[in-house]
Amino acid sequence: MASAGAAAVTTSASEVSVSSHLFTVRGYGNTKGIGVGVSIESPAFDAAGHRWSVVFYPDGESQDASGQISVFVRLVSEASDDVTVLYGLSLVDPTGAAPAAEASKAPKISTFSCGESRGLGCFMEQETFEASPYLQDNCFTIKCVIGAVNGPGAALAPPATELRHGFDRLRLDGAADDAWSDIGGSSGEASD
């Protein structure tokens, strides 16, 4: 039996487990003009306990996005329940510099069902993209970051303003964590 006045101490800790995937598209010039709603999809990769892919629409994913490049992330694995994750999409600067605001969209919390995609139909205007430093030698890379909560009963809580920069190394409490994992990259190549 506990003595009177003794305090019980409990701890609950949750962390955001973050993974990133790099999808390189080679031969961009061969993809332009393939048509609105026609996409190039990365091979599936693992993150947050599920399989995902990056989906790129060179001419926009819908008529509303015509003249834009569109970038999405898709849940490709079968899931018995909906999957809620924090995700972010950005273009990778070949010089290693942090992407500018127009090339890096603030992470969002979204719930996915199998086969569903989330992202931005109007990620960037094609003309702006083609004149940007992200497209080099007819090649560019999209970075997809996916975070899931690990631990007891935590919700995805960090506000997006805290996540905009350094998202790859963020724990739920907002502190940087150098133990993030990079899933690796894949390439998509357009035919001549």
pLDDT (tens place) for every residue of the chain, 192 residues total:
555 666 776 555 566 688 999 999 999 999 999 999 999 999 999 999 899 999 999 999 999 999 999 999 999 998 788 899 999 999 998 888 888 888 988 889 999 999 999 999 999 999 999 999 999 999 999 999 999 866 545 454 444 443 444 444 333 333 333 322 222 333 343 333
d(CA 156, CA 18): 12
How many angstroms separate the Cα of 177 from the Cα of each of 84, 96, 158, 166? 21, 20, 15, 10
What is the three-class DSSP state of 158?
A: coil
d(CA 71, CA 73): 7
Does residue 163 sit within a domain?
no
Could you give the number of structural domains in the chain?
A: 1
**Residue 83 lies in domain:** 18-148
Does residue 121 sit within a domain?
yes
Does residue 169 sit within a domain?
no
Does residue 90 sit within a domain?
yes
CATH number at 143 reads 2.60.210.10
Residue with tokens 């909560």: 149
Does residue 109 sit within a domain?
yes
